[in-house]
Structure 1
């Protein structure tokens, strides 16, 4: 499954990390041949988890501040979790975010609310510390698409996906063009 296919498939999935989580409502795909991807220049110590087994976490620090959680697909491909609808362990997530809102809109907020750390890098989403349950395939009408956010290369790719009508997205999606 390509990163783009995985990013779509993760919309509506349940993500739980050590008793806190919710429904994934926004993702971004990053492929191996994608100049915006950490894997574009090949394996390094920092991106090694991206080249590891599918269904494992790739965690990195963005701008030296925020951690970001990704789900590894094919070697060198991963999907960034941009937003979740919080449902499980709300009190835990609110305490981790020190009451700041929005709670889980944006990859840094998601990681902070879920208690993600660099030690989660390479960990499996196997139902232990990290759990990921895919939903039945969503209808294409339930998924909105747009370009990725916060990148400086390969800007045109429509590899950002969201749950149509969901509150709590990191940023709104552009309105669909009229027919």
Structure 2
């Protein structure tokens, strides 16, 4: 089942946790790719690491839109990242999808990434975007309908195994680096990095 508007209306931290175990799907002209979300990061209003911290700009405008839409931006002039917009319209908050476990379309992911090692296909925000062929042109599109959407964790029972969530600090930022807004599935091989600082289990 595709996650609906009510799911994304929850507070951003709740969404960041609840997305773990859900499935990101992209139906492209080359084929369908699907990955289980195993790591996320939350970015909140008033958070100095959040793109919306200072004001609304052309780059971050999607963050201020309605919940359940994709916010796609470029970093370092090379890689793109995909986020899920949360919070009411006019409030800039989002959840970064940081790592996936490849579920289907794996050969296509390997071709796009030019990597054969399974756990390295989507173990980072730039990597998963390349593997799933998520582009800047997808910024602002709905995640609640094809071709780009998120399925609930119970969609694939064979992959929906019990797990514990690790809560820790985010990666690759200087401001707000002490905030415990990163969440991942404990012990999962496709997580981008192990614990950065002190972590807690939920």
TM-based fold match above 0.5: yes
| 158-167 or 96-105, which deviates more | 96-105
CA contact (8 A) 1:2 1:77 kept: no
Which of 86, 96, 101 is the matching residue for 1:80?
Answer: 96
Measure the CA separation in 1 of the matches of 2:199 and 2:73: 32
Offset of 1:34 from its aligned partner? 0.5
Q: Say yes or no: does 1:23 pair with 2:23.
A: no
Residue 5 of structure 1: aligned partner: 14
TM-score when normalising by structure 2:
0.81
In angstroms, what is the RMSD of aligned CA positions? 1.9
Contact 1:16 1:88 in 2 (8 A): no
Alignment: residue pair count: 175
Is the Cα contact below 8 Å between 2:23 and 2:37 reproduced in 1?
yes
- CA change 1:141–1:61 in 2 (3 A) is same
Offset, 1:127: 2.9
The aligned residue for residue 191 of structure 2 is 169
Give the match's secondary structure for 1:5.
helix
Q: Mapping of 1:1-179 within 5 angstroms? A: 1-18=10-27, 19-74=32-87, 75-99=91-115, 101=117, 102-135=120-153, 142-173=164-195
Aligned partners of 1:127, 1:63: CA distance in 2, in Å? 30
Report the Cα distance in structure 1 between the residues aligned to 2:152 and 2:79, rounded to whole angstroms: 26
In structure 2, list runs of 5 or more residues that go unmatched. 1-9, 155-159
Q: TM-score, normalised by structure 1?
A: 0.91
Q: Distance in 2 between matches of 1:162 and 1:33?
A: 23
Write out per-residue CA displacement over residues 62-115 of structure 1, whole angstroms, 9 at most, x where no aligned residue.
Answer: 111100000001131100011000011101111110126410001000100010
